[in-house]
Amino acid sequence: MPQVAARINQDLERLLGEYFRTKSAGAEFILPWAIDTIFRSINDVKDVFSASELKTIAEAYKDAKLTPDTTRLKYLLLRISDACDLNNIHIRNGASKSSLMGKLQTLNDIQAAALMIWASAFWVSKARVSRNLDEYIAQG
């Protein structure tokens, strides 16, 4: 099995040791589960939004740096609201701010994190080189 060298803080290291036989066993369980959960959430949550809303969300995350502490619904709501109020990205993309914010408010933290990861990923991934944002959004 391929190896990944992840960096975690001491609290997470302690939790892995407490809940699993070894830290490695915990990491080998948690990482694939987290990846699967996030990607399933991305696919599910994208269906809630129109293409213009997804484009607005993606553009709001163009220069964002995600951390585990800021991948929660309240941060998503703040970022999108600010991007709409300060830069009118919803208008540029043909989306209604009130409709978009209403849909966002129905998400839970995992769904919000998945959407933030999806939005940020375009700007830092290899996909950006070979596709434009409209193609990324249309991707199933």
Q: What is the mean pLDDT of residues 60-68?
A: 92
Residue type, position 136, single letter: Y
Kindly provide the b/e burial profile for residues 31-70, where b requires at least 16 CB atoms within 10 angstroms of the residue's own CB.
eeeeeeebeebbeebbeebbebbbbbbbbbbeebebeeee
Helix (H, G, I), strand (E, B) or coil at 108: coil
Model confidence at 1: pLDDT above 70: no
Model confidence at 127: pLDDT above 70: no
* Interatomic CA distance for residues 126 and 130, integer angstroms: 7
For 95, residues 6+ apart whose C-beta sits below 8 A from its C-beta are 50, 52, 53, 55, 56
Distances (CA, A) of 37 to 40, 52, 76, 86, 114: 5, 25, 19, 33, 9
Domain ranges for the chain: 10-138
Q: How confident is the model at residue 24 (pLDDT cuts 50, 70, 90)?
A: confident
Model confidence at 128: pLDDT above 70: no
> Of the given ranges (15-19, 26-30, 81-85, 130-134), which has the lowest mean pLDDT?
130-134
For the entire predicted model, the pTM comes to 0.85
Read off the pLDDT of residues 40-60 as tens digits, 9 standing for 90 and up.
999 999 999 999 999 999 999
Model confidence at 140: pLDDT above 70: no
Helix (H, G, I), strand (E, B) or coil at 55: helix
Within 10 A of 99 (CB to CB), how many other CB atoms are there?
A: 14
CB neighbour class for 113 (10 Å; exposed up to 12, middle 13-18, buried from 19)? buried
Read off the pLDDT of residues 87-103 as tens digits, 9 standing for 90 and up.
999 999 999 999 999 99
